[in-house]
Amino acid sequence: MMTPGPTLAGAAVPPTSRSAWREELIDTIKLALPIALTQLGQVAMMTCDLALLGRLGDHVVAASALAHTVLFAAFVVGMGIVSAVSPLASQAFGARQPRMVRRALRVGLWAATLLGIPLTASQLYGEEMLLALGQTPDTAALASTYLMGLAWCLVPGWWFIALRGFMQSVNRPEPGLWITIAAIPINAALAYALIYGEFGLPRLELLGAGLATTIVNTGMCVAGVWVCYASRPFKKYRILGRFWRPDWVLFRHLVTVGAPISGTMLLEYGVFAAAALLMGRIGTTELAAHQIALTMASIMFMVPFGISMAATVRVGHAAGRRDVAGTRRAGMAAIALGVAFMAGMTLIVILTRHAIPLLFLGFGTEDTNATLQLAAMLLLVGASFFIADGVQTVAAGALRGLNDTRMPLMFAAICFWAIGFVACYALGFTLNYGAVGIWMGLSIGLATYALLLIRRFHALTRRGYLPDIVAT
């Protein structure tokens, strides 16, 4: 690889350097936009399901929340591992090794299937798990009914993530978006029909909602396979070619890269679940306000999450072609884009913080005024939280493009629990700042994590680190 020669001290930055950064930003935006919209589409489907179930009563909503908690813990395990398809396939694409691109997808699909067998079976014991965690028998039974229909979505859901990772790695994320957009009204109609017994279908309520999710996820998976197998530019990779051939070397590599991603996601999910439990110890008003503010954060998070996936691909491409400068530029450009977006969105949230809670609770009454005011306060306190959350996910995505996932896992354990959770408890209870203190603790943990990830990426790319690519 040729490297540019030295430049004179004080010399102006060459126009080619400026244009390289501009092109990198443009390419990252083009890649990130359909990915982010796809994530928002997934949120839309989940929101629709919740709205339909809400008409059955508060006890059904509570049971569905518990069922999602059980399912999500299992889903994250496989999600992290199949997410490794994207960096491995991107590096192979950058290195112009199409066979390796196919192999990366193939081992991802195998991992999803092998993990899905035991983890799907575990969901069928959701009632026993919830009873062991101290939930009431009635609520646990309802949640178990939901899981009976929902459990089967794990494998098709993971397959679709792997297929999307493959599409993104070859710079064609749009089909994933079109499939998701088509699935939104289908999911709404099918869930409505199965929950309430419309259009000649039986009334299955919670079971129907779970079955609708499984059917739609299976349909999305089948559509993804068909697109990747039969349409350009994907069909030249022959993704089903030699599908049954064992590939244990690359399979182990996928697990080595992906398992720490799963661990990091579980640590992050765990600290937010713990924060919700701390809020519940303070009171229902605090818990409701926390949920409103966190829902806004989750919606905003989808865009930097899309930028994060784009960062993985762009860094992976540069690493595959052994372009040290391009690797650094891709990651830093994505991080800057994430900062800019979240800073703008945070400003909007601060300016509209009194109006946002009304979308969830309507106009204030004596019962809801306290929740509205506290939610507005948390949205203000969350200014640093929102930016740090966006930056950490983009920086983590850039590091995944270098297959660097073990160190971020260690950072997550330290920042989310040794720093974040301890700060939540100390500020919320020891110093009596209550709900505001818990959000300050979350912000401290996220900000520390973001800074460590950026420093890690800076250090790796400064010394020219590039990941090894498994030989074809």
Closest CA to 85 of 401, 467, 362, 354: 401
- pLDDT (0 to 100) of residue 362: 59
Contact present, 56 and 204 (Cβ < 8 Å)? no
In the predicted model, what is the mean pLDDT of residues 316-327?
A: 94
Nearest to 309 by CA among 182, 445, 108, 166: 166
What is the tens place of the pLDDT at every residue in 253-270? 999 999 999 999 999 988
Q: What's the mean pLDDT in 437-458?
A: 96
Mean pLDDT of 290-310: 89
User: Predicted confidence band at 2 (pLDDT cuts at 50, 70, 90)?
Assistant: very low
Does the pLDDT of residue 452 top 80, yes or no?
yes
What percent of the chain has a predicted confidence (pLDDT) above 90? 61
pLDDT at position 70: 86
Query: Is the pLDDT reported for residue 13 higher than 60?
Result: no
For 409-419, the pLDDT digits (tens) are 999 999 999 99
Does pLDDT of 186 surpass 50?
yes
Predicted local distance difference test score (pLDDT) of residue 58: 66
Q: How many CB atoms lie under 10 A from the CB of residue 386?
A: 25
Paired tokens of 291: 């949920």
In contact, 183 and 219? CB cutoff 8 Å: yes
Res. 12: pLDDT tops 60: no
Mean pLDDT of the chain: 88
Sequential DSSP letters for 399-441? HHTTT--HHHHHHHIIIIIIIIIHHHHIIIIIS--HHHHHHHH
Q: Which two tokens stand for residue 79?
A: 């999600």
Residue 156 has pLDDT above 50, yes or no: yes
The whole-number pLDDT of residue 384 equals 84
Work out the pLDDT band at 1, boundaries 50, 70, 90. very low
Among 54-63, 108-117, 222-231, 253-262, name the one with the lowest average pLDDT.
54-63
pLDDT digits (tens, 9 = 90+) for 158-176: 999 999 999 999 999 999 9
d(CA 315, CA 87): 8
* pLDDT beyond 50 at 4: no
pLDDT tens readout for residues 303-315: 999 999 999 999 9
CB 335 within 8 A of CB 391: yes
Q: Which of 4-8, 191-195, 313-317 has the lowest mean pLDDT?
A: 4-8
pLDDT of residue 437: 95
In sequence order, what are the residues at sequence separation of 6 or more whose Cβ sits closer than 8 angstroms to the Cβ of residue 207? Answer: 145, 146, 148, 149, 194
Rounded CA gap, 150 and 214, in Å?
6
Amino acid 311: pLDDT: 96
Q: What is the pLDDT of residues 209-218, one digit of tens each?
A: 999 999 999 9
- pTM of structure: 0.88
The CB density around residue 242, as the number of other CB atoms within 10 Å, is 12
Q: Domain map of the chain by residue range?
A: 31-246, 260-472
Helix (H) or strand (E) holding 301: helix 284-320
Tell me how far apart the terminal alpha carbons of the chain are, to the nearest angstrom.
21
What pLDDT, on a 0 to 100 scale, did the predictor assign at position 245? 81
The answer, yes or no, to whether residue 14 has pLDDT greater than 90, is: no
What is the rounded radius of gyration, in angstroms, for the C-alpha atoms of the chain? 23
Total residue length of the chain = 472
Per-residue confidence at 26, pLDDT binned at 50, 70, 90? very high
